[in-house]
Amino acid sequence: MTEKTRTQPTLRPETLSAQGLGHIAEPYRDIVEPIHLATTYVRDRNGELVGGRLYARDANPAYDQPEALLARLENGWEALLLPSGMAAAQALLQLLKPGERLVVPRSMYWALRSWVRHYTAHLGITLVEYDNASLDSLKAALAGETTRLLWIETPANPTWDVTDIAAASALGHSVGARVVVDSTVATPVLSRPLELGADFVMHSATKYLNGHSDVIAGAVVAREDSEDWQAIRRHRNQGGAILGGFEAWLLLRGMRTLFPRVRTASRSAQAIAEWLDAHPQVIEVRYPGLPGDPNHAVAARQMEGGFGGMLSIRVQGGHAGARRFAGALQLFREATSLGSVESLVEHRAPVEGPGTLCPDDLLRLSIGIEAVEDLIADLAQALDSPHHPPEEYDES
């Protein structure tokens, strides 16, 4: 550690993120972290690993900076990168053994919900569900019984229900549970679950952490070292659930703009939610930033600086009305995913298929960083248009 580093004042997370923790690579002192693609590392004549690396499966230098930055932003002990959000979730869920209990919310990422139901049934794990925003429902789900894992997703996809992390963590810990929070939508810009009592926080880093629709990645952060954390580390090592060096480099690139992206998207989402809430063609707007949203008070207490870039709406005309609206949008792209610089729309019920909990008129909006005036204008013309527009947006 240099003298300059020792005397440096405590930096705000925005600065740490923008500078990627300020690491300068030797010998060329690159302002941008170099890409590390080597899979193995040479020993010296005595057989010593002088570079400190054995094999890139879980020791790629490309992981060092993004993992350290994410751990710092979440105020955690350590972070691990994985090849997808699903891989990050499964790294946590593999802690479960047959006969143990897992408690999950009813509203959660659809692909994970489907996988969890199959996984727990196959292994003989007791699965109990609770209503995301109801502590009474969570108490009933825990039922005073020893529980291995309590899963929280907040805000929850695609209804954006908000769970009180501090209160839910206390309830989970009272029955011996490890508490996991999927904070993909909030990001450490808006909420830090580990500071509110959670044991682990996970992200689909594909979404806001990367923010450019060009990386599939996941991440897990631990509040402290533990046997469970070491088991997760072994799972990544021995199971081979690793991220490529180039993808890790892209992820760090994306995280350097995390704060301005999330804050811009949150401001725009707030303005759009308020505008939609007053539109006669819109039946319902789900966004925790609206004062009338049933989750607003909890969200205001545990989210700082905004309520995220995700909202869902229900429009007049049922399934057909939702399809007509999605098809009429010109600036919003109809695509699966969220959390990037471009705005997206998705008609969720048909995508999720049989067993979906979504109303058939629900549309999920991911707000990007475009001019909010342009986004509102696109929504306005789509709500007023009875016909489908041309396939491509005319940028002339």
Tell me which of 58, 164, 182, 199 is the catalytic residue.
Answer: 182
Mean pLDDT of the 249-275 span: 98
Q: For residues 198 and 163, is the Cβ–Cβ distance under 8 A?
A: no
Tell me which of 57, 139, 233, 263 is the catalytic residue.
Answer: 57
Mean pLDDT of the 285-311 span: 97
Mean pLDDT of the 13-34 span: 91
pLDDT at 354: 78
Burial classification of residue 310, based on how many CB atoms lie within 10 Å of its CB (0-12 exposed, 13-18 middle, 19 or more buried): buried
Mean pLDDT of the 358-372 span: 94
Mean pLDDT of the 116-129 span: 96
Confidence band (pLDDT; 50, 70, 90) for 320? Answer: very high
Give the Cα separation of 334 and 364 in Å (integer).
10
Show the 3-state SS of 245-313. Answer: HHHHHHHHHHHCCHHHHHHHHHHHHHHHHHHHHCCCCEEEEECCCCCCCCCHHHHHHHCCCCCCCEEEE
Mean pLDDT of the 369-392 span: 82
202 or 387, higher pLDDT? 202
pLDDT at 223: 98
Catalytic annotation on 164? no
Catalytic annotation on 207? yes
Examine the pLDDT at 184 and tell me if it is beyond 80: yes
Share of the chain above pLDDT 90, in %: 86
pLDDT in tens, 197-242: 999 999 999 999 999 999 999 999 999 999 999 999 999 999 999 9
Report the chain's mean pLDDT, rounded to a whole number. 93
pLDDT at 356: 74
Mean pLDDT of the 9-35 span: 90
Give the Cα separation of 262 and 308 in Å (integer).
7
Share of the chain above pLDDT 70, in %: 95
Examine the pLDDT at 395 and tell me if it is beyond 60: no
Examine the pLDDT at 122 and tell me if it is beyond 60: yes
Mean pLDDT of the 351-371 span: 88
Examine the pLDDT at 392 and tell me if it is beyond 80: no
Tell me which of 58, 63, 101, 109 is the catalytic residue.
Answer: 109
pLDDT at 393: 42
Mean pLDDT of the 329-346 span: 97
Tell me which of 101, 192, 207, 348 is the catalytic residue.
Answer: 207
Give the Cα separation of 205 and 226 in Å (integer).
23
Catalytic annotation on 182? yes
